[in-house]
Structure 1
Amino acid sequence: MHPVQNDAVETPTLGLRERKKLARREALIDATHRLVAEHGLDAVTVEAICEEAGVSTRTFFNYFETKDDAVLGHTPWPVDSPAAETFASGGPTGHLLADLQVFVNSLLTAAPIGRERLAVGLELAAREPRLLARHMAWMEQHRGQLCVLVDRRLGEASPYSAEMVGATLLFLTHATFLRWDAAGGTGDASEQVGAVVADLRSILSD
């Protein structure tokens, strides 16, 4: 595995302070990836990561709760993204299941840390089962935000249960992440969510 360089998502609207914060977060993620790839998760300490990245431990904890979060590149999830607004407003196709698939794809691929760092995190997570559990728990923390979007999408007159649609959204996100992780983060997440939906249809029609 090669260290990831210059993989930031272009953010021309960010101010200097925000760009510096993004660069520091990426440096911590890259340092964590290098050390974990070389020594294994359990052998790497937060102190070692900070020394590698040239920052203090206090700085590390301004960005991540644990080293596991740094491996996974956990950043504020883009639940308030343009894709989320499109979904809540009834798009992009007007068909609920198809739009759920598009939204799940956006949640998994619009990572501020960039596609390559995300792929490295997935590769490392495949070796460490506890990282998968951590990622699932992290996504679960966003249930409330997702439920607000689902409520907006469905409105009061919808024949669907907001609770059921929200649970479906979380399931698709979880299952797609696991499938994408098993594939080493290769390919497009939209391919994986499509395969998850196909499997689900097959199970329900059996």
Structure 2
Amino acid sequence: MQNLVEPSAAPTGLRERKKRERREALIDAAQTLVLERGLDAVTVDDICASVGVSTRTFFNYFASKDDAVLGVEEFSPSAGAVQDFVAGGPTGDLLDDLQVLVADLLAHQVMSLERVHRAIKLVEREHRLLARHMWWIENLRTGLIDAFDRRRTQHPFVPEPELLAMVVMALLRTTTLEWERLGRTGEPVDHLGSVVDQLRALVCPGRPPGDPGSPG
């Protein structure tokens, strides 16, 4: 990315960074306190006191204590990426275009793996959190299926949208695991291409890795 930024954009970037840092501090505090005391023994006031913010500030970031513990936030492809995909782009090849969608999702996945792992640990311990966690996953899944349905209306393809949603989920998880396996070099999205090549090797065994043009 070029380091050419309009002067008026700099304060916005600084504000966004500070908002992100405060949000992460609230997640860290919520997860740490719940790991120490248990979910029912921790209040929003406790979390706020740990970070040094007001409850009003807390609710600017999270709808509930449970959401702070899970680090719940909107997780979906950008509107531009969805619009391009629905219109049959950016390449016209279904798997390649799915890869672009997954790359867009990974670019917006801002919660660190440490926080994700703590959230998973807490879901396993605090069963009440499971329903909220499942809602978050289902929200992503249904949004993807809607995009796939809309594309298929304009540009027919064979695979069912439900199957494509499962492929996206698998690519997200496998790419992150690959990133971890290789020592967290670069960003997770840097490893997406090799994971997609593995998928191609499964469904198109005679096709060279990275070769575009699979049937849609």
Same fold (TM over 0.5): yes
Is the 8 Å Cα contact of residues 31 and 49 (structure 1) preserved in structure 2?
yes
Shift of 1:94: 1.6
Flag the 1:189–1:89 CA change in 2: closer, same or farther, 3 A: same
1:121 aligns with 2:115: yes
Flag the 1:38–1:66 CA change in 2: closer, same or farther, 3 A: closer
- Which structure 1 residue ranges, 5 or more long, are not aligned? 1-9
Is the 8 Å Cα contact of residues 106 and 172 (structure 2) preserved in structure 1?
yes
Flag the 1:193–1:126 CA change in 2: closer, same or farther, 3 A: farther
Aligned equivalents of 1:144, 1:23: Cα separation in 2:
31
Shift of 1:103: 0.5
Q: Aligned-residue CA RMSD in angstroms?
A: 4.2
Aligned equivalents of 1:169, 1:69: Cα separation in 2:
28
Larger C-alpha radius of gyration, 1 or 2?
A: 2
Shift of 1:107: 1.2
1:64 aligns with 2:62: yes
Return the match for 1:32 from 5, 27, 32: 27
Aligned equivalents of 2:103, 2:36: Cα separation in 1:
28
- Which structure 2 residue ranges, 5 or more long, are not aligned? 206-216
Deviations 1:72-123 (A, max 9, x none): 4332334343222222222222210121122022113224xx4xx4334224
**What is the number of residues matched between the two proteins?**
187
Aligned equivalents of 1:88, 1:102: Cα separation in 2:
12
Flag the 1:102–1:147 CA change in 2: closer, same or farther, 3 A: same
* Amino acid paired to 2:112: L
Is the 8 Å Cα contact of residues 72 and 118 (structure 1) preserved in structure 2?
no
Shift of 1:138: 0.3
Flag the 1:76–1:105 CA change in 2: closer, same or farther, 3 A: same
Aligned residue for 2:99?
101
Tell which deviates more after alignment, 49-58 or 38-47: 38-47
1:202 aligns with 2:202: yes
Aligned equivalents of 1:85, 1:95: Cα separation in 2:
15
Tell which deviates more after alignment, 185-194 or 26-35: 185-194
Flag the 1:67–1:58 CA change in 2: closer, same or farther, 3 A: same
TM-score by length of 1: 0.63
- Of all paired residues, the percent bearing the same amino acid is 30
1:188 aligns with 2:177: no
Aligned equivalents of 2:77, 2:33: Cα separation in 1:
33
Is the 8 Å Cα contact of residues 30 and 69 (structure 2) preserved in structure 1?
no
Return the match for 1:84 from 78, 82, 88: 82
1:145 aligns with 2:140: no
Aligned equivalents of 1:77, 1:22: Cα separation in 2:
18
Aligned equivalents of 2:100, 2:78: Cα separation in 1:
15
TM-score by length of 2: 0.61
